[in-house]
């Protein structure tokens, strides 16, 4: 069966949490729904045979820039098409952004594999490290 991409639904939340918890760096530290676009449904998921492979969120702004964030994959997924699934997710969100009038897609990442996927798709990756700076107000 082929990979497919679709918009996230409320019923995907536990799947997302399970995927985040599969990674040591994120275990128990996943974002809350209210931190995510559309209360946790403002993103996309790539599946194979109905099984989640990778998902991510698309934040929109009042400028011509949107933001891809919180990309997570199922750590246990061992399919040879894992990299293809990540590319499908990123390109799918790019298509949605372009169709919505955005001209720039921005992302922040630290996972080397994900960064390489962005590079492979023509993204410019800054040579200097950045830090997420967040404050709950």
pLDDT at 40: 97
- C-alpha to C-alpha distance for 62 and 28, rounded to whole angstroms: 32
pLDDT of residue 98: 96
> Do the domain assignments include residue 125?
no
What is the structure's pLDDT at 25?
84
Q: What is the per-residue pLDDT across 24-80, written as a single tens digit (0 to 9) for each?
A: 888 888 999 999 999 999 999 999 999 999 999 999 999 999 999 999 999 999 889
Give 101-118 pLDDT, tens digit per residue: 999 999 988 888 888 888
Domain count within the chain: 1
Token pair 């991409």 is found at: 5
Give a yes or no: residue 132 inside a domain. no
Q: Does residue 99 fall inside a structural domain?
A: yes
| Domain contains 78 | yes
Total-model pTM: 0.90
- Report whether pLDDT(1) > 80: no
Q: Is the pLDDT of residue 131 over 80?
A: no
CATH number at residue 68: 3.40.630.30
Q: What angle do CA 137, 36, 117 make, to 5 degrees?
A: 125
Supply 32's token pair: 């809350």
Q: Report pLDDT for 110.
A: 82
Print the domain residue range for 58: 3-120
Cβ atoms within 10 Å, residue 95: 12
Residue 41 lies in a domain: yes
* pLDDT, position 135: 72
């Amino acid at each position: 069966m082929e990979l497919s991409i679709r918009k996230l639904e409320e019923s995907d939340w536990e799947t997302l949490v399970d995927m985040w918890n599969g990674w040591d760096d994120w275990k128990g530290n996943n974002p809350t729904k209210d931190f995510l676009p559309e209360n946790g449904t403002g993103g996309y998921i790539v599946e194979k045979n109905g099984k989640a492979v990778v998902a991510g969120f698309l934040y929109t702004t009042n400028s011509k820039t949107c933001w891809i964030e919180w990309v997570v994959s199922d750590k246990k997924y061992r399919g040879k098409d894992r990299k293809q699934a990540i590319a499908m997710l990123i390109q799918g969100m790019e298509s949605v952004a372009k169709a919505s009038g955005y001209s720039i897609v921005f992302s922040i990442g630290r996972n080397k594999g994900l960064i390489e996927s962005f590079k492979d798709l023509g993204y410019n990756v800054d040579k200097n490290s950045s830090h997420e700076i967040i404050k709950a107000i």
